[in-house]
Chains A and B, each alone.
Chain A
């Protein structure tokens, strides 16, 4: 029983480290290039990495819109074969709607998902550089 538990814990942490490691290896400009890869492929990248960003507490959010809303709206647009992405969200309990061109929204959600994990990993090396008395000299 204990062994199983240990194995599953290890398995989980490996899977999680795996996604961060995977993201760290990517060239954001290339994998999120909609012209080169098509919106569906770019969306798949976002779908792969954004849940991990949420789990780690590092999901990006811009102008009141969480990245997971971009993921969802892009997916809906692709399914419906629309070139326009409609995002519904709330700011301070008020309902809002914003529209974006599909290519732009796909690129945005992909770069946000990948970059959040890359940043998370880079932090291990960079954070101490900003600490006075540690890596930050003054």
Chain B
């Protein structure tokens, strides 16, 4: 009896150990990414190294310096004072309140939804790696639950799915939940690595990678926008965009950016998109869930 207990304890701790070791590389990547952004936005002194194209006026007057950890969930509004002021003003009367209410109703009235998601405060736990299925984003999970229950009209990008996500995100935020993406198998680690490679790969006729804009380029201006950092990107979806005049999921945003790279965009729900989101999600691990939010 004792032996059995010891054996299972040993086995248990072995499983735990190896679960951790599958995420060793990802943890290293996440820490380095955070360190990079914290250094980049540490103070005005470093600015000419990191922002060679920004004007003196912008660096002196519009940038906030000394950004750390949790603040990065705000995207570019973490350091762009002008954008932040507009953002906070809009948040006085958030345009997504009705979406949260609608999401709550969908949660309660859609057949099967409560059974698929007994706890609504789970926005930070996605994407998940599921053996035999691969990466499942929160949008994937919602849409497949709806399909399994023969419900129509659920898309990965907007509409009912986004509203339900808004409800989940809000519930998670109220409970003080954090992003908690898990890599617990060899297959999961491989999916993470593939997502990472795609993120850093130059693509399209413009030959830009996601990282060109959201790692090395974060803080620089592209037309009317200031580029936001990868670190914090998945904390606050779904997002209400002024351009969309509505709510959209992370899948929707990524499809737009992928198209802007000058490539035939990958479909939401494709392995490419899921694995990219898995990587991105892991990079925001430990940050507070802060959705829904508003962006231009």
List residues of A whose CB falls within 8 A of some B CB: 54, 57-62, 66-67, 112, 115, 119, 122-123, 126-128, 130-134, 136, 138
**A115, chain B: closest CB distance, angstroms:** 7
User: Given contacts A119-B203, A123-B201, A130-B209, are A66 and B264 in contact (CB under 8 A)?
Assistant: yes
When distances are taken between beta carbons in the complex, the residues of chain B under 8 Å from A58 are: 203, 263
Most B C-beta atoms less than 10 A away, residue of A58, A66, A112, A138: A138
**B209, chain A: closest CB distance, angstroms:** 6
User: Given contacts A115-B205, A128-B200, A130-B209, are A59 and B36 in contact (CB under 8 A)?
Assistant: no
When distances are taken between beta carbons in the complex, the residues of chain B under 8 Å from A128 are: 200
Q: Please determine whether A59 and B32 come into contact, CB atoms closer than 8 angstroms.
A: no
- Kindly identify which residue among B211, B216, B262 contacts A60, using a CB–CB cutoff of 8 Å: B262
Chain B contacts with A in 9-44, Cβ cutoff 8 A? 28-29, 31-33, 35-36, 39-40
**A120, chain B: closest CB distance, angstroms:** 8
Closest Cβ neighbor of A132 among chain B residues: B36
Q: 27 pairs across A/B with beta carbons < 8 Å?
A: A57-B266, A57-B270, A58-B263, A60-B204, A60-B264, A61-B204, A61-B205, A61-B263, A66-B264, A119-B203, A123-B197, A126-B202, A127-B200, A127-B209, A130-B200, A130-B215, A131-B196, A132-B32, A133-B29, A133-B31, A133-B35, A133-B36, A134-B32, A136-B36, A138-B35, A138-B39, A138-B40
User: Given contacts A130-B216, A132-B33, are A61 and B264 in contact (CB under 8 A)?
Assistant: yes
**B90, chain A: closest CB distance, angstroms:** 26
B60 within 8 A of A: no
B51 within 8 A of A: no
- The contact string, 1 if C-beta is below 8 Å from chain A, for chain B 198-221, is 001111110101011001100000
Closest Cβ neighbor of A53 among chain B residues: B264
Q: State the CA gap A115–B215 with chains docked (Å).
A: 24
Q: State the CA gap A60–B207 with chains docked (Å).
A: 10
Interface of A is mostly: mixed
Q: Please determine whether B201 and A127 come into contact, CB atoms closer than 8 angstroms.
A: yes
When distances are taken between beta carbons in the complex, the residues of chain B under 8 Å from A134 are: 29, 32
B68 within 8 A of A: no
When distances are taken between beta carbons in the complex, the residues of chain B under 8 Å from A57 are: 266, 270, 272
User: Given contacts A60-B264, A138-B36, are A119 and B202 in contact (CB under 8 A)?
Assistant: yes
Q: State the CA gap A138–B201 with chains docked (Å).
A: 19
B259 within 8 A of A: yes
**B158, chain A: closest CB distance, angstroms:** 13
User: Given contacts A127-B197, A133-B29, are A60 and B35 in contact (CB under 8 A)?
Assistant: no
Closest Cβ neighbor of A128 among chain B residues: B200
Closest Cβ neighbor of B231 among chain A residues: A132
Q: Please determine whether B28 and A133 come into contact, CB atoms closer than 8 angstroms.
A: yes
When distances are taken between beta carbons in the complex, the residues of chain B under 8 Å from A59 are: 263-264
When distances are taken between beta carbons in the complex, the residues of chain A under 8 Å from B266 are: 57
Q: State the CA gap A63–B282 with chains docked (Å).
A: 33
Closest Cβ neighbor of B211 among chain A residues: A130
Q: Please determine whether A61 and B215 come into contact, CB atoms closer than 8 angstroms.
A: no
Most B C-beta atoms less than 10 A away, residue of A62, A66, A122, A130: A130
